[in-house]
Amino acid sequence: MLIDRRDRLRKHAARLGLMLTALLAQPAGADVLRVGSGQEYARIADAAKAARDGDIVEILPGEYRGDVATWRQKQLTIRGVGDRPVLIADGRIEQGKAIWVIADGNFLIDNIEFRGARAADYNGAGIRFERGRLEVRNSVFIDNQAGILTANFAESELFVRDSLFAQAPKQEESLPHLLYVGRIARFEISGSRFHQGYRGHLLKSRASYNDIRYNLLYDGPQGEASYELELPNGGLAFVVGNIVGQSAATQNPVMVAYGAEGNAWPESALYLAHNTLLSDRHTGTLFLRTWPDRLPEGTGIVGINNLSVGLGSLTLANTGEFRGNLPLPPGGLEDPETLDFRPLGASLLRRFTSPAGSARGVSLQPEGEFALPIGTRPITPPDSWLPGAVQLGY
């Protein structure tokens, strides 16, 4: 009980810190526009038209049905206040694309929920990010044809922190991806959870630079996703400290895919370190599949201290540098059904890991791990590391 209370206090303090940071960053003369019953703006769409560069838009708790919008400002903070406001498409779609369209600017979106986006091209998104820089925090994307979908402007950047993507619609016309990042400059995601995909992928990124850390990409028993993580055009990819799980219902034997559609960037390399890779597939899994013939000669593939659990192989279909990786049989984790991904036999497993080090100046040693329901918690480096993503709780 005391631990739970301390955890709630820590999360509350972190939320207050984020709000204080946003207030300190507010430009002089900026306005705060409030949306909700009895407020200056009853509809989000009206606030989207009225807001000026540098303003803050605050959305009060409640359901906002069919209240879709395009945001054309160059700099804006949009945040839910208190209980997370829920935006339900309810048959409406902005520009035929999304509940919200971010046109071209520097945006922070915090504490908003997006549900039920549908479009005529079966690609309706909670957020369609066209161009600029977008950071999404503490937000939820449920039952959208795409949670977030980006355009392909090579200078754009997307950052996702502590967010949830779930329940892809069971459509047959095209593949719904819970998060789909196009050919942009940079993509970072941490502390986020993905589950219940359908035919499409949980997370797909074509970005030039990818930093994917401390996430739970576990499709779950009701999920039917294809790949759990796909990086089809290579690029630099740092995949560190994630729990990645494939359901028994998947039709794809590959869990993490790299380079399947050919290179699109000057540099490509994959660094896969301290991930827990779990497959419930009964007929075997390729925990990692790379396509070196479609990537530049000399593209580095590095796998360090990963834990693969279930029937399958991490290295069978790949060439590269692999060390400290360990396989466990089905049943090798405490209780995945209750999201307890601690490996059995921890004291023995610690003997086989290798120092993760760094690559290209980026640490491959975890500094945190995923924490339910969403978010991360810090790790103090232990005397000896476990393979996989879970270090705490022993």
DSSP 202-256: SEEE--SEEEEES-EEE--TT-B-S-SEEETT--EEEEES-EEEE-TT-S-SEEE
Spatial distance between the Cα atoms of 26 and 24, rounded to a whole number of angstroms = 5
What average pLDDT is seen over the chain? 93
Least Cα distance to 333 among 218, 240, 226, 235 occurs for: 218
pLDDT for residue 326 is more than 50: yes
Phi, then psi, of 64 in degrees rounded to 5 = -120, 100
pLDDT for residue 14 is more than 60: no
pLDDT in tens, 87-127: 999 999 999 999 999 999 999 999 999 999 999 999 999 99
316 phi-psi bin (left φ>0, alpha ψ -120 to 50, beta other): alpha
- Residue 32: strand, helix, or coil: strand
* Omega of the bond leading into 343 within 30 degrees of 0 (cis): no
> How sure is the predictor about 24, in pLDDT bands with cuts at 50, 70 and 90?
very low
Spatial distance between the Cα atoms of 341 and 337, rounded to a whole number of angstroms = 9
Spatial distance between the Cα atoms of 223 and 202, rounded to a whole number of angstroms = 10
Question: What confidence score (pLDDT) does residue 28 get?
Answer: 57
Give the pair of three-digit tokens for residue 142: 């449920």
Question: What confidence score (pLDDT) does residue 393 get?
Answer: 84
CA distance between the termini of the chain: 18
pLDDT for residue 11 is more than 80: no
pLDDT in tens, 249-265: 998 999 999 999 999 99
Give 210's contacts (C-beta < 8 A, 6+ positions apart): 181, 187, 188, 231, 235, 236, 237, 238, 239
Question: What confidence score (pLDDT) does residue 30 get?
Answer: 84
pLDDT in tens, 152-173: 999 999 999 999 999 999 998 8
H-helix or E-strand spanning residue 328: strand 326-328
Neighbouring-strand partners of residue 277: 244, 308
Residue type, 106: N
Least Cα distance to 273 among 182, 174, 150, 363 occurs for: 363
> Does this model's pTM top 0.75?
yes
pLDDT for residue 367 is more than 50: yes
Higher pLDDT, 24 or 308: 308
